[in-house]
């Protein structure tokens, strides 16, 4: 939700839908505040089907009636730095949220992907006492349910909510896309997320009397909210509760812009001068495969005084930024869970990007040509490890006796060959027929490959056997 003054609501999202979830319903006397003139920004996630598709959405909002004593906030405790080792059947991830004021927790909603196993919510009080308030012992990504408390859980200021989850990256998990890879945070379902969403309410200083007479502004055929069951750990005996270590915590350092990097300017640039391609680099990405050099591109265009923008995704393709603002030398926009704020000085900018992982320092430079990262004018080189497999991301199992024959038996034409990185996104060859004998020879074997980003494609410069051996170009 974007407020009338252009700032993003700090309480997080207004509402969300995931598979298996019903609508949000708040306790009596509680509501979320939407200031007059606010914008509702919708972020949609789609998977491609290979053919054009049409989608249409409806949104229903029940307006508050009578007297409101509490305002509802939605937020998340997340571990965006998780790294799940290959074949780990019980990887543990932790996050926490500290309450700055007295509050009452009204619901919890776990969010993980296919390797998600269980999630526990526990309140740690200022005196050290602990209370487990919810435990989902058998998480299913296809049924991401919000668990409403029949009686909201009171928490005093200074208390913290600990969220503890486990992931199964082993062969025993039938939903596991690939147990042989290290799994990190990502938007794709083959990646993982550890997000312990929850709602809490805070009592208003003075009760709010709603002016609304009707409770619904939506399509007339929307049903009234239905009752939703509270979680009961005793009803699911398929898995023993896991032991929890109260000592471990997730700590995310919040970085702020370097004071020495602040810019001074006599006149902020105009909208037209801001237009162009900006290379955005976040400092705290040094643990990524690209060692912090790989960043995002922001492409800003201006027409009739209106700005529009696109940003590159992890697949290096541009997607639309729904709402970009520029005012007084400051660029701000939101993409998914990432909120950017940049101070512009000519062709350079500094600022921050905020997400569930915390706040990172960002630098940006304006580019004349489409270069995907690195220090201008050098191109960005990416070195990755993978196997030669099928373009649909098929790769031989680790225990396959003859991985080469396993791959070749699934190849129908040279264009089916692709490099399958450990991250799981296939890199296809555009000229595989020119060196098909090399691909056949090394099919299914671990290889290292180095490439250069050219536009939105990765140009393969070198392929060699992992761990040494005679290289092939």
Hey, what domains does the chain have and what are their CATH numbers?
Answer: 63-226 (2.60.120.230), 259-367 (2.40.128), 381-465 (2.40.50)
Tokens at 428, concatenated: 């296809």
Q: What is residue 115's predicted lDDT score, i.e. its pLDDT?
A: 95
Q: Which residue positions in the chain have pLDDT lower than 70?
A: 1, 3, 5-12, 211-272, 283-295, 313-317, 356-358, 367-384, 422-425, 451-458, 466-473
Of residues 304, 306, 452, the one with CA closest to residue 370: 452
pLDDT digits (tens, 9 = 90+) for 318-344: 788 888 988 878 899 988 778 889 999
DSSP 36-55: TT-B----------SS----
Question: CA triplet 294, 1, 47: central angle to 5 degrees?
Answer: 50
* C-alpha–C-alpha distance, residues 318 and 311, integer Å: 5
Residue 354 CB-half CA count within 13 A: 14
Q: What is residue 204's predicted lDDT score, i.e. its pLDDT?
A: 92
Tokens at 71, concatenated: 């305002």
Q: What is the CA radius of gyration of the chain?
A: 25
Q: Is 66 left (phi over 0), alpha (psi -120 to 50) or beta?
A: left
Q: What is residue 329's predicted lDDT score, i.e. its pLDDT?
A: 84
DSSP-assigned letter for residue 185? B
Tell me which residue has tokens 């993980």: 112
- C-alpha 341: how far from its chain's center? 18
Phi, psi of 433 (to 5 degrees): -65, -25
Question: CA triplet 196, 291, 324: central angle to 5 degrees?
Answer: 60
Residue 205 CB-half CA count within 13 A: 0
* C-alpha–C-alpha distance, residues 57 and 358, integer Å: 31
The burial of 151, by beta-carbon neighbours within 10 Å (0-12 exposed, 13-18 middle, 19 or more buried), is given as: exposed
Q: What is residue 469's predicted lDDT score, i.e. its pLDDT?
A: 54
* C-alpha–C-alpha distance, residues 423 and 436, integer Å: 24
Query: What pTM does this model have?
Result: 0.48
Q: What is residue 464's predicted lDDT score, i.e. its pLDDT?
A: 75
């Amino acid at each position: 939700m974007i407020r009338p003054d252009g700032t993003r609501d700090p309480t997080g999202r207004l509402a969300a839908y995931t598979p298996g979830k019903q609508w949000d319903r708040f306790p009596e006397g509680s509501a979320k505040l939407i200031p007059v003139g606010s914008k509702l920004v919708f972020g949609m996630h789609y998977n491609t089907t290979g053919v054009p598709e049409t989608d249409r959405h409806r949104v229903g909002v029940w307006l508050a009636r009578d007297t409101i004593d509490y305002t509802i906030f939605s937020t998340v405790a997340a571990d965006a730095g998780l790294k799940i080792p290959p074949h780990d059947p019980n990887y543990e991830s932790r996050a926490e949220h500290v309450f700055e004021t007295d509050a009452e927790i009204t619901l919890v909603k776990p969010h993980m992907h296919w390797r998600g196993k269980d999630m526990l919510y526990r309140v740690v009080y200022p005196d050290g006492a602990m209370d487990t308030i919810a435990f989902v012992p058998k998480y299913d990504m296809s049924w991401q349910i919000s668990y409403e408390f029949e009686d909201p859980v009171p928490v005093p200021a200074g208390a913290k909510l600990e969220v503890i989850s486990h992931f199964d990256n082993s062969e025993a998990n039938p939903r596991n896309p690939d147990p042989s890879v290290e799994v990190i945070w990502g938007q794709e379902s083959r990646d993982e997320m550890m997000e312990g969403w929850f709602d809490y309410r805070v009592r208003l200083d003075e009760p709010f009397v709603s002016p609304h007479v009707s409770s619904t502004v939506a399509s007339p055929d929307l049903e009234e909210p239905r009752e939703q069951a509270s979680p009961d750990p005793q009803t699911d005996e398929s898995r023993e509760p896991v032991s929890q270590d109260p000592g471990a915590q997730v700590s995310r350092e919040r970085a702020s812009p370097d004071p020495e990097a602040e810019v001074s300017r006599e006149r902020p640039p105009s909208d037209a001068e801001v237009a162009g391609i900006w290379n955005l680099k976040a400092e705290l990405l040094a643990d990524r495969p690209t060692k912090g050099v790989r960043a995002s591109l922001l492409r800003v265009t201006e027409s009739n005084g209106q700005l529009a923008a696109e940003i590159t995704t992890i697949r290096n393709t541009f997607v639309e930024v729904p709402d970009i603002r520029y005012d007084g030398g400051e660029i701000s926009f939101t993409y998914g869970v990432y909120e950017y704020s940049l101070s512009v000085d000519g062709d350079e900018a500094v600022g921050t990007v905020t997400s569930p992982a915390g706040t990172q320092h960002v630098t940006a430079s304006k580019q004349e040509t489409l270069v995907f990262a690195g220090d201008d004018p050098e191109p960005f080189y990416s070195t990755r490890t993978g196997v030669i497999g099928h373009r649909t991301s098929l790769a031989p199992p680790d225990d396959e006796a003859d991985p080469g024959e396993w791959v070749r038996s699934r190849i129908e034409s040279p264009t089916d060959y692709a490099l399958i990185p450990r991250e799981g996104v296939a890199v296809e060859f555009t000229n595989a027929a020119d060196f098909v004998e090399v691909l056949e020879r090394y099919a299914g074997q671990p290889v290292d490959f180095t490439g250069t980003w050219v536009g939105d494609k990765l140009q393969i410069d070198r392929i060699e056997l992992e761990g040494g051996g005679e290289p092939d170009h």
